[in-house]
Amino acid sequence: MNTVLRVEGLTKSYGDITVLKGVSFTVGRGEIFGLLGANGAGKSTLLECIEQLRSIDSGTIAVEGRIGVQLQSASLPPNIRAYEVVTLFRKWSKNKAGTGEAEAGEFGLEDLGRKPYKDMSTGQKRRLHLALAVIGSPDILILDEPTSGLDVAGRLSLHSVIRRLKQQGTTILMASHDMAEVESLCDRLIILRDGRIAFSGTAQELTRNAAGLSRIYLQTERSLAGQAFEQCRYEGERQGYSLYSAGNLRDALLELLTTAEQQELAVLDVRIAHATLEQRFMELASAGEGEH
Ligand SMILES: Nc1ncnc2c1ncn2[C@@H]1O[C@H](COP(=O)(O)OP(=O)(O)OP(=O)(O)O)[C@@H](O)[C@H]1O
């Protein structure tokens, strides 16, 4: 992996409160990297440290290339119009090749016409701020909850803009509370909890390796109910299936199927349900429930 962002042992306090307690992770070129955590977990603080908007107490942050930023909340003069602010930002930008008329179309800005900023909807403002963030053709784009407050269509249209930016080689680091968004967009993610990283990996790994959360629905010609297993726990009967919860799916399946085989029971059906991302997130991100 070609690393473009490396954060190592980052700590950050506000007065007596330590928000980040030694956070380390790397982001590869062209990745969409998700940052999750409950309210107050320190996501914005972490992003602002990377953006150099905040001083850090200790640790290192190494960034390769230019950063573009879309802050969680940002504001512009009430009467400025989209085309005026885009023109202004392009003039300020060292990179004159950034967002031009064609790109403005892709961000859906042309439909804003001559509307003043104060009359734009939340979604229109978000699209405008995203367009401004990419004007300098950043190598790394940092987005703090880019789709919060957007309707479904607005969210999907921003997702396609983010995917297009990735295809063009932009690395994207984004904080989000939207699990579906993280699952569909992010290559990898971290979950912050109590100032530390509670999970690091892909969304698939997050749900697949859910300790105790995989469910096996087994239908055999006679139920195995009442029999004790080492690798899974019997949870009861559900619509003709025996339900088991398992920490290690492979070992549990092997044990169940071997038992059925030994007892010469035909296996009629096996269904597996993994924990949802929300369940795993709640498990990992809830503060004050011990270390993971
Ligand atoms: N400027 C500040 N001064 C003092 N405390 C702050 C400051 N900014 C943030 N905090 C505190 O730091 C903690 C982390 O805040 P931060 O905004 O980084 O969390 P977050 O994960 O982005 O939350 P959210 O999901 O609600 O946006 C919170 O307890 C917050 O109150």
- Tens digits of residue pLDDT in 75-88: 888 988 888 888 88
In the predicted model, residues of the chain with pLDDT beneath 70 are 72, 94-113, 209-212, 287-292
Residue nearest to atom 3 of ligand 1 (CA): 14
User: Which atom of ligand 1 sits closest to the CA of residue 15?
Assistant: 4
Determine, yes or no, domain membership for 245.
yes
Q: Which pLDDT score, from 0 to 100, does residue 48 have? A: 94
Name which residue sits closest to atom 6 of ligand 1, judged by CA. 14
ipTM greater than 0.95: yes
CATH of the domain at 118: 3.40.50.300
Ligand 1 atom closest to the Cα of residue 175 is: 22
250 and 183 inside one domain: no
- The answer to whether position 283 is within a domain reads no
Residue 44 near ligand 1, beta carbon < 6 Å: yes
- For residues 195 and 81, membership in a common domain is answered with yes
Question: Ligand 1 atom 29: the closest Cα is on which residue?
Answer: 40
pLDDT of res. 291: 40
> What's the pLDDT score for residue 112?
66
Give the pLDDT score at 106: 64
For residues 191 and 267, membership in a common domain is answered with no
Check whether residue 133 and residue 17 sit in a common domain.
Answer: yes
Is 186 within the bounds of a domain? Answer: yes
* Residues 135 and 241 placed together within one structural domain of the fold: no
pLDDT for residue 93: 75
Kindly report the protein residue whose alpha carbon is nearest to atom 17 of ligand 1. 44
User: Are 14 and 26 within one domain?
Assistant: yes
Ligand 1 neighbour 12 (Cβ under 6 A): no
DSSP β-bridge partners for residue 62? 6
Domain of residue 96 covers 3-207
Number of domains in the chain: 2
Sign of the four-CA dihedral 205, 209, 213, 214: positive
280 in any annotated domain: no
Residues 100 and 223 grouped into a single domain? no
Take atom 13 of ligand 1 and give the residue whose Cα is closest: 40
In 3D space, the residue among 122, 182, 109 whose CA is nearest the CA of residue 150 turns out to be 122
Distance 37 CA to ligand 1 centre (A): 11
Do 235 and 111 lie in one domain? The reply is: no
Integer angstrom CA distances of residue 286 from 219, 225, 280: 35, 34, 10
Same domain, 75 and 126: yes
42 pocket-lining for ligand 1 (C-beta < 6 Å)? yes
Alpha-carbon distances of 8 from 25, 27, 153, rounded to whole Å: 7, 12, 38
User: Best of 16, 18, 19 to mutate for ligand 1, by most ligand atoms within 8 A of CB?
Assistant: 19
> 239 C-alpha to center of ligand 1: Å?
46
Residue 37 Cβ inside 6 Å of ligand 1? The answer reads: yes
CB 33 within 8 A of CB 188: yes
Residue 75's pLDDT is what? 82
State in Å: Cα 194 to ligand 1 middle.
Answer: 12
pLDDT attached to residue 263: 93
**Residue 286: inside a domain, yes or no?**
no
Q: Distance between terminal CA atoms of the chain? A: 26
For residue 131, the model assigns a pLDDT of 84
Buried-state track 247-281, b at ≥16 Cβ within 10 A, e below 16: eebeebbebbeeebeeeeeeeeeeeeebbbbeebb
pLDDT given for residue 103 in this prediction: 55
Atom of ligand 1 nearest to the CA of 37: 21
